[in-house]
Amino acid sequence: METKLAEPVKERERAGIQSIERAFAILEEVARHREGIGLAELSKRVGLHSSTAFHLIKTMAQLGYVSQPKDSKKYRVGRRLFTLAAGALDEVELVSIATPILEKLSLETSEASHFAIRSGANFICASTTPRSNTSP
């Protein structure tokens, strides 16, 4: 019987940890469904076998990151996730600082202004000021 060697550390670092990637894929999918999402639909959307999705979401529910009301088969974002998100409130401070600058820019250019925060390869629009109807 041939024994398989473990992947080199660099290869594992590049690939990431599969279970964490799966857990975050589930969490992101749950967050996209404000009304909640059932296990069958969730596992289909994230491309996991239902038993794998069940074990991952059950763990997240036990930790409070997702919730499942007793009278429902749907999962929703849990309270603990909101606590975790509160750590990102520094970005809210950035928006507070950026808003007066965006407003001035909109007044000076008669165009809408946007403040975006980079998130990996994407950008999240954190604040927008409407196009000004008055010329400088």
pLDDT in tens, 12-44: 455 689 999 999 999 999 999 989 999 999 999
Question: C-alpha angle with apex 76: 72 to 78, nearest 5 degrees?
Answer: 120
Q: Are residues 64 and 103 in the same domain?
A: no
Q: Say yes or no to pLDDT of 47 above 60.
A: yes
Q: Are residues 22 and 55 in the same domain?
A: yes
The pLDDT value given to residue 9: 38
Long-range CB contacts for residues 108-113, cutoff 8 Å, separation at least 24: 108/136, 110/134, 110/135, 110/136
Q: What is the pLDDT of residues 79-132, one digit of tens each?
A: 888 777 766 766 778 888 888 999 999 999 999 999 887 766 777 788 889 887
135 within domain boundaries: no
The pLDDT value given to residue 119: 67
Q: Are residues 22 and 62 in the same domain?
A: yes
Work out whether strand 37-38 and strand 74-77 pair parallel, antiparallel, or are unpaired.
Answer: antiparallel
Q: Say yes or no to pLDDT of 66 above 60.
A: yes
Per the CB < 8 A criterion, the answer to whether 53 and 46 are in contact is: yes
Per the CB < 8 A criterion, the answer to whether 125 and 116 are in contact is: yes
Averaged over 58-80, what is the pLDDT? 94
Q: Are residues 14 and 71 in the same domain?
A: yes
Total domains present in the chain: 2
